[in-house]
């Protein structure tokens, strides 16, 4: 009797496990380079042909992490692409997110889902300072597809440097120095009693 109960429980757990399947993780980590140093006048390009998992009913998910170092203040603008080719390539829920050197999110953008076309979304990040940045690219390859392809192209342009105003405290400090200098000169000239 107990063998029938154990066998039945095993069959139930297998069915539950199949119903709660999670996507296969096909993530990567990489480094982006700008054809030299990442500065104004250069471009960042991130692309990947992501493999699918046709054996998993949930497909394949990915979270690709790319790092790059900016050597000067820049603005970054460009486009994120999801390339869908008929019944073989498809990327869904494609999103790009940029993190600053302290790993705080600077914002994200998503490419719309579709099929049989090239889908893209423009993006812009302004006033990026010198330092190491991380780009997170995530998405899902549905089960029926053998993989997907994404591409990010970002142009780096010179960031406008704002002038720093001289605070009013600096003017007060300078006037106090002039006043103290004047007092010492007056004491030197006055006769001592």
pLDDT at position 105 = 92
- Give the C-alpha separation, 62 to 29, whole Å: 11
**Contact (CB, 8 A) for 148 and 50:** yes
pLDDT at position 161 = 57
- Give the C-alpha separation, 35 to 41, whole Å: 11
Class of domain 23-158: mainly beta
Which helix (H) or strand (E) segment holds residue 4: the answer is helix 2-19
Domain layout of the chain by residue ranges: 23-158
Handedness of CA 49, 84, 110, 123 (dihedral sign): positive
Diameter of the chain measured on Cα atoms: 120
Stretch 121-145: mean pLDDT, rounded?
Answer: 86
Comparison of pLDDT for 43 and 22, the residue scoring more: 43
- Those residues whose C-beta lies under 8 Å from the C-beta of residue 13, and which sit 6 or more positions away, are none
pLDDT tens across 65-103, in order?
888 888 888 999 998 888 776 667 778 888 889 999 889
Q: Is the pLDDT of residue 8 over 60?
A: no
pTM of the model: 0.67
What three-state secondary structure class fits 116?
A: coil
Comparison of pLDDT for 10 and 120, the residue scoring more: 120
pLDDT tens across 144-174, in order?
777 888 888 888 888 875 555 556 667 777 7
């Amino acid at each position: 009797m107990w063998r029938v109960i154990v066998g039945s429980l095993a069959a139930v757990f297998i069915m539950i496990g199949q119903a709660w399947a999670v996507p296969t993780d096909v993530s990567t980590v990489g480094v982006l380079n700008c054809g030299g140093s990442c500065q104004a006048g250069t471009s960042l390009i991130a692309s990947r042909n992501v493999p699918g998992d046709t054996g998993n009913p949930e497909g394949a998910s990915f979270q690709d992490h790319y790092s790059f170092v900016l050597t000067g203040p820049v603005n970054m603008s460009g486009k994120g692409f999801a390339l869908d080719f008929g019944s073989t390539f498809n990327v869904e829920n494609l999103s790009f997110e940029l993190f600053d050197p302290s790993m705080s999110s600077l914002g994200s953008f998503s490419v719309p889902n579709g099929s049989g076309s090239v889908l893209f979304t423009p993006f812009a990040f302004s006033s990026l300072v010198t330092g190491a940045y991380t780009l997170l690219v995530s998405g899902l390859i549905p089960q029926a597809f053998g993989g997907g392809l994404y591409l990010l192209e970002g142009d780096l342009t010179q960031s406008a440097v704002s002038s720093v105003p001289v605070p009013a405290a600096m003017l007060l400090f300078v006037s106090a120095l002039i006043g103290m200098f004047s007092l010492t000169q007056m004491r030197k000239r006055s006769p001592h009693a």
